[in-house]
A and B are shown apart, each in its own frame.
Chain A
Amino acid sequence: MVVSVKAIMISGRTLGQGAACEAKMSPDYFREASSCSLSQADLRGLGISPGENLEVTSEHGTVILTPQEDRGLDPGLIFIPMGPWANCLVGPDTSGCGTPQYKGVHVEVKVTTFPVLAIRELFGRFGGTRT
């Protein structure tokens, strides 16, 4: 049986993501922005093994991320650095104020052996189609 955890997703700035954000096509940015952090209890509950990733799904999309432990997070919270990986989970609704809800997105998290998509793969189906 595949174990999954229901969580609330928060996205935001990290020092590493910020330091690499002017070089978004770099390996540094990929490493910093395509991860996610959970509490030790949630990671244990998922039974994740070394080398495995996490598949995170909201009603707006799915994304695969590398896992990290963050002792500052309560169980039931998942933090993802702001950027294109986190935004796969964010919906377009702005509640009439122009700003999507980047924090507080309900998600389901489970372990996967699939790899994290690199930035060009993430945008692979865009571009190169118009003249």
Chain B
Amino acid sequence: MIQEDVVCSFCGCLCDDIRVETNDEGIVKAKGACRLGSSKILGHGPGHGRISKPMIRQDGELVEVEYQVAYDRAARILKAAKRPLLYGWASTVCEAHEEGVLLAEEVGAVIDSTATVCHGPSVIGVEEKGLAGATLGQVKNRADLILFWGCNPAEAHPRHMRRYSSNSTGRFTPEGRKGRTVIVIDVRETRTARLADRFIRIDPGTDYQVISALRLILAGKAEILGDEVCGISKGKLVDLVDILKKARFGAIFFGLGLTHSRGRYKNIDCALSLTAELNAHTKFMIMPMRGHYNVAGIGQVMAWEGGYPMSVDYSRGAPYFNPGETAACDLLARREADAALIIAADPASNFPRSIVEALAEIPVIQIDPYENPTTLLADVVIPCAIAGVEVEGTAYRMDGLPLRMRKVIEPVHPSDEEILKEIRESARRLPDDH
């Protein structure tokens, strides 16, 4: 069977033009998907490291159990904890996120997403400064200048350039790549940089200074600057500002080069300010290159449910948000979290080593389709269906556009939403003093 216009569930591009072919054995082709999307869509079979049965750790070994036993054990762990953490959420649909917030309320947990180790600083920056945004459709149809800052879509979002940005063709951009100026600013010459018209290499950790210098030039105060800013000549920066001002519609895309480097949310704050100031001269927008396909969605759900987009503490009776205090890494580093439910994420791989050591000291419940390093330190492992391949639901593209993910094949395992609901109901049945 052929299914047209399937939405890819790998990265924040949410490409919605994938042609998926299935037969009795599962998905056999994903036409139109990039290498990342293909690996996700085709990687659903049992030979791809899928967890087959729920497991509970007994005498140091993971032992297979029935689903209800795993739900009850998970509920007891969360209910007994004083400071449970519910973490992950980037690779599942918004229907599961809603259940997650309900579970956080039920057990008085902190709920946090993988945004805190990727674009969390962008979220904070946007809260401080606001964001001059646009949809990817507007960029495709109108942008004649694309600036990639600290991001490498050629490897992290492989279809971004062709579908939405530098190489796309649209209503007012019929010439595609030929009609656009593409600039890359990075600390290394990435694959994306090699495709640009202009590559500006900056020293690591100097994004804030360079953006500030551009803002000064834009404000007509170039004379304040020295001849060189962080290894770049002043002339080069003046030229760059000139190019930016001459654009009809400029689009700045930024990645973890800004959020993971020295300055973190202040880098974003500064880039957002630059974009706002460019709008005094021409039209400019800015957008974070969101990584996992629905990391933007968990931010939306948490914001509409509790008022805050990540790191929300439900232990006080009312939602409380203070990243640095309530973010997963900080809670674990302080040895404050005393139990964790990990869903649709792999913190054992993606947290700094000392924080993984803290996670290994507490009871861990993992909900995931695949075995990964978090499985190695989990006490309860609950296999789920793959959201966006085996389960339908809502996901938010990197520009905030909600799209409906399709169920392409029938699942063997329950969905994230069903699992979370069962754990919540089991927790509710337990006495309060448990």
Flag the segment in A14-22, A47-55, A108-116 that touches B: A14-22
Contacting residues, chain A, for B307 (C-beta < 8 A): none
Flag the segment in B171-179, B211-219, B327-335, B416-424 that touches A: B327-335
Asked whether any CB of chain A lies closer than 8 Å to the CB of B40, the reply is yes
Contacting residues, chain B, for A72 (C-beta < 8 A): 188-190, 193-194
The size class of the interface chain A forms with chain B is: 35 or more
Contacting residues, chain B, for A79 (C-beta < 8 A): 188
CB of A95 to closest CB in B, whole Å: 6
B279-328, CB < 8 A from A: 291, 310-311, 323-324, 326-328
Number of A-B residue pairs, CB cutoff 8 Å, is 196
- From the candidates B61, B262, B371, B377, name the one contacting A25 in the complex (CB within 8 A): B371
Q: Do residues A94 and B329 form an inter-chain contact, with CB atoms below 8 A?
A: yes
Q: How many residues of B contact A (CB 8 A)?
A: 75
CB of A23 to closest CB in B, whole Å: 5
Q: Do residues A18 and B156 form an inter-chain contact, with CB atoms below 8 A?
A: yes
Nearest A residue to B156 via CB reads A13
Flag the segment in B117-125, B135-143, B392-400 that touches A: B117-125
Which positions in A face B, CB cutoff 8 Å?
Answer: 8, 10-15, 18-20, 22-26, 60-61, 70-74, 77, 79, 82-84, 87-104, 119-120, 122-123, 126-131
Which positions in B face A, CB cutoff 8 Å?
Answer: 10, 35-36, 38-40, 43, 48-49, 57-61, 112, 116-118, 120-121, 124, 152, 154-156, 158, 187-190, 193-194, 201, 204-205, 256-257, 259-262, 264-265, 291, 310-311, 323-324, 326-330, 333, 346, 348-357, 360, 363, 370-373, 376-379
Q: Which 5 A-B pairs have the closest CB atoms?
A: A98-B327, A72-B189, A96-B324, A98-B323, A128-B60
22 contacts between A and B (CB under 8 A): A18-B36, A22-B40, A24-B372, A72-B188, A74-B188, A74-B201, A83-B349, A87-B349, A87-B350, A90-B353, A92-B354, A92-B355, A98-B116, A99-B117, A100-B260, A100-B351, A101-B261, A123-B348, A123-B376, A126-B360, A127-B360, A131-B58
